[in-house]
Amino acid sequence: MPTLSEARLKALGSTLQQAKIDYRSLTPMADTGLAHDHVWIHRDADDWVARLPKQSQMNLPPEENLAYQAACYERASQGGHTPGLQGVLPPSESLPRGALLVEAIRGRLAEPPQDLPAIADTLASLHRQPLPPHRPPLLAPTAPWQAMVEEVSLQAKWLDDAQLPSSIHLRIQQELDLLPSTLDDAAATLISFDTHPGNFLVTAEGRAILVDLEKCRYGLPGIDLAHTSLYTSTTWDLNSQAVLSLDEVIAFYRRWQTAMAATPDIVLPSVNTLIACRRATWLWSLTWCAKWRAQHLQRQDSERRGEDWSAELTDAAVIDHVRDRVEHYLSLPIIDHVHSELQCLQTAL
């Protein structure tokens, strides 16, 4: 059953009117994700999209969640390849988690591998932005690699509760043990941290627009490159799936390197750092799968405090798809496939 009820749609309309925001009509968009409902706001001038949180993937309470997402859009849009922020509707009795209003983007879903060059250019538009002197509310750890390893390690605690076969648990632990403790050239940039191809729309002019910005932070750009091109990302989305060849992945990385090098004084990360980021991002995805496997049958958080993976929040078809992907990614053949690709990339890049 659709998660966006008629009552919630009416609540959005009433809240827009109270905020003196003019619109002609509201159209609920397909429920394709676990974190937001989306509503197309038809206006006389420029259309907007309302992002209504179902939960906070950053585990933030409603007001902080909206402030964090607003900062993501404000900063990322300076690169010219993301929607602009149009407004914030604060949490209320009728909209307990509030809503974010962003520029509506008309385009088709990205289709890898053909759209990977445009996506590489979009990522470079984020990664080459100068670092601001004041970085909160976005996460900005002083040691971004250590912070990533700690985040993966924290999620890995869910492996014990995911009821995985012992052979799979052992293989994931073996991969975790391969993560280096330090990286010499782990310089931070603005990153999205959620760049699977399904989060990009491609305009008629061929520009890739990153439309889902919720987890931005100051971290390692290799994380975004990995999240775009890993098997666990390119086969995730319901409507945009592809299995990339090694040559296609290499071409994607090299396109990004070329786009980054166009800005003076940028020092590109080494191959070792890019591979370490790729392994860490893959393990972040695997441990997230374990976490979802352990949590999705829990009841919805009635207090709407932060993170909530309850299946009650999302259309049943989407939950079935996520369950299928989780079981697939946590299988030995797929773990071995990604491991083998990592080894090949190490020598090919």
Q: What is the pLDDT of residue 6?
A: 86
Q: What's CA 165's distance to the chain center, in Å?
A: 28
Left, alpha or beta for 193 (phi > 0: left; psi -120 to 50: alpha)? left
Alpha-carbon span 177 to 186, nearest angstrom? 19
* Orientation of helix 271-295 relative to helix 332-348, angle to 10°: 160
For residues 101-122, give the mean pLDDT: 97
| pLDDT tens sequence across 221-279 | 999 999 999 999 999 987 778 999 999 999 999 999 999 998 888 889 999 999 999 99
Rg of the chain on CA atoms, in Å? 20
pLDDT at 1 over 70: no
- Mean pLDDT computed over 58-71: 94
Q: Is the pLDDT of residue 344 over 50?
A: yes
Q: How confident is the model at residue 288, as a pLDDT?
A: 95
The string of pLDDT tens digits covering residues 10-46 is 999 999 999 999 999 999 998 777 778 999 999 998 9
**Residue 83: phi, psi to the nearest 5?**
-65, 150
pLDDT for res 286: 97
205, amino acid identity = E
Residue 66: the pLDDT is 96
- Indicate whether this model's pTM tops 0.85: yes
Alpha carbon distance 116, 248 (integer Å): 9
Structural contact between residues 139 and 218, judged by C-beta atoms closer than 8 angstroms = yes
Instruction: Judge contact between 115 and 251, C-beta under 8 A.
Output: no
pLDDT, tens digit, 9 for 90 and up, residues 297-307 = 565 545 555 55
**CA 42 to each of CA 23, 38, 46, 234, 305: distance values in angstroms, whole numbers, following the listed order:** 6, 13, 8, 31, 31
User: CB neighbours of 303 closer than 8 A, spacing ≥ 6?
Assistant: none
Rounded mean pLDDT of 39-58? 93
Averaged confidence pLDDT in the chain: 91
Q: Residue 167 — very low, low, confident or very high, per pLDDT cuts 50/70/90?
A: very high
pLDDT score, position 317? 82
